Amino acid sequence: MHTDNSKVVESYKKQPNFMLNLCQAAQVLGYKDYRKIESFIESGHLRAYTLPHAKRKKVKYHEVMNLAKKNTVT
């Protein structure tokens, strides 16, 4: 069964823009390891956030999906 990935990627805008840890962001983008997300942050493709009550970096869901959308082949 073939799915149209562009429609799947577009539907993310209907979801809340919650914060993901780097492992979650890696899973969303299909990577097995969070280090690829760190490289996106270091290269400026993603912005990292640190919440006052947490030490670990977070990224916004919509920003992760925007990155996916930029790299989706239609």
Enter the pTM of the model. Answer: 0.76
Instruction: Look at residue 16 in the predicted model and tell me its pLDDT.
Output: 79
Instruction: Look at residue 73 in the predicted model and tell me its pLDDT.
Output: 42
Mean pLDDT by 10 residues, the chain (74 residues): 51 84 95 96 96 92 87 52
Which residue from 36, 34, 28 is spatially nearest to 63, judged by alpha carbons? 28
Q: Is the separation of the CB atoms in 62 and 70 below 8 Å?
A: no
Instruction: Look at residue 12 in the predicted model and tell me its pLDDT.
Output: 77
The Cα–Cα gap between 74 and 60 comes to 24
Instruction: Look at residue 7 in the predicted model and tell me its pLDDT.
Output: 55
